[in-house]
Structure 1
């Protein structure tokens, strides 16, 4: 089921109808496997009705109200607000290495729905006008910022260098790429930064979106919020320069995997 759901996300941009077909299949399997319950089905039905209303009625107030409803739903999915999703744990209180804090992660069906919901609001969610840097070498600088930011975290005592290759790495990669990185980038870069850029320009959009991305990590404490803000600047520039959601998602995934494979994850155990 989870491979099918990941496949639906992978082809959402180039093959929307096929993606919806895969999502429908994943939903049916989710019901049979007790991952989804009836409140989740009611929510999916409501999303479908809102999508139909948007397609059938171009009145400005309908478009505004339906977009507000869909964004509210996306936020609810992001914070696991809605009942009916029984996201299965993949690992529980494990350590990536002896110096790492114990952590758990799940496959999140609700969070995986975010790109579908936001694509209804914004057809150019996955690809929009780019603003590439004048010097292509700045792309290398952007990539170099990933280990640099992690190294700064080491110097500040939040992380330590600790290479590891845990047995559950494959499950982590699947969850992190499709159900974390893509979902978060769809909301913060594909939707929010794009909408803010339309209203207030690229610089303000980049800064505000990065700040909000940092704030969204408040459960991890102030140090994580600061580093998430700077990471958000990296992802935001990747999106702004390329105009492609998958580029920002790839950079986000690369950051998370560099962190996982070469440093204490999610943080240093004191």
Structure 2
């Protein structure tokens, strides 16, 4: 019963990508969050976030007046930051891994199945369909393969050079859960926000200017890097470089290509290198 909310969320992610199954998504979200409330994983205070997201979705509809759309996007941006940082009340996210050391020299890792952060991704996919530009299947496939290969090689070589990781292949018992959560909830939400909404939105706003796509890509990559500031300057650098790779995948292959590039790097990092990073010398 504790897993019921997340089963509904995991099913809702592929459904939202299918025009034929898209109508299922609101129902799956209602079922999932109702189950979470019955389990005590949500409290009535979570209604504040849900209500504000619904109001923002109403406000940003294309037929609304400009001032209302601006207000709706402002409310969403504030909520996106707060939900991503787990600042909003009412969410009792379930810890499913850790603290656990996957290798003896690694920092202990903890993973939660979050109910707050995924709301950002679902809101974007449902309220802002323009974050998913259309690309020919061949172009999307090419961008996906190039994004996964290029971003993974560059970022992991850089991580090795910075002394953040070592070559340490492994297959922990929790691998399946990490991968499922990472691809369906983490990378979908982060790419919808940073690439679809921020990069795509800036490209739309700046389209009258030269190099609008390059500016949008760089701003989104830098914002993604700064979002990793708790890890220190090395992680800001790594995440910014990764954001450039994801941004190129988005630019030439769409949101799906960016998600695959992001997940490919995360999977390679988890399976083949120290995860999440090496423990600093002298720290037990």
- Does the TM-score normalized on the shorter chain lie above 0.5? yes
Deviations 1:142-171 (A, max 9, x none): 613412321232132111000110111111
1:166 corresponds to 2:176: no
Give the RMSD, CA atoms, in angstroms.
2.2
The count of aligned residue pairs is 266
CA shift for structure 1 position 47: 2.1
1:43 corresponds to 2:32: no
CA shift for structure 1 position 128: 4.2
CA distance in 1, matches of 2:28, 2:134: 25
Q: In 2, are the aligned partners of 1:40 and 1:85 still within 8 Å (CA)?
A: yes
Match of 2:197 among 191, 198, 223: 191
Which stretch has the larger CA shift, 147-156 or 121-130?
Answer: 121-130
Q: Which residue of 1 aligns with 2:71?
A: 65
CA shift for structure 1 position 54: 4.4
Structure 1 length as normaliser, TM-score?
0.91
Q: Structure 1 segments of 4 or more deviating over 4 A?
A: 53-57, 136-139
1:267 corresponds to 2:277: yes
Q: Which residue of 2 aligns with 1:256?
A: 266
Q: Which residue of 2 aligns with 1:235?
A: 246
Q: In 2, are the aligned partners of 1:13 and 1:126 still within 8 Å (CA)?
A: no
Residue aligned with 2:133, SS: coil
Q: In 2, are the aligned partners of 1:74 and 1:118 still within 8 Å (CA)?
A: no
Relative to structure 1, is the Cα distance of residues 53 and 149 closer, same or farther in structure 2, using a 3 angstrom cutoff? closer
CA shift for structure 1 position 137: 9.1
Structure 2 length as normaliser, TM-score?
0.86
Q: Which runs of 5+ in 1 are unaligned?
A: none
Deviations 1:15-47 (A, max 9, x none): 332111101100111001111111112321232
CA distance in 1, matches of 2:148, 2:84: 27
Q: Which residue of 1 aligns with 2:125?
A: 119
CA distance in 2, matches of 1:30, 1:174: 19
Relative to structure 1, is the Cα distance of residues 90 and 57 closer, same or farther in structure 2, using a 3 angstrom cutoff? same
CA distance in 1, matches of 2:107, 2:116: 26
Which stretch has the larger CA shift, 43-52 or 156-165?
Answer: 43-52
What is the correspondence of 1:1-270 to structure 2 with a 5 Å cutoff? 1=4, 2-14=6-18, 15-55=21-61, 58-119=64-125, 121-128=127-134, 140=146, 143-200=149-206, 201-243=212-254, 245-269=255-279, 270=281
Q: In 2, are the aligned partners of 1:8 and 1:23 still within 8 Å (CA)?
A: yes
CA distance in 2, matches of 1:17, 1:142: 31
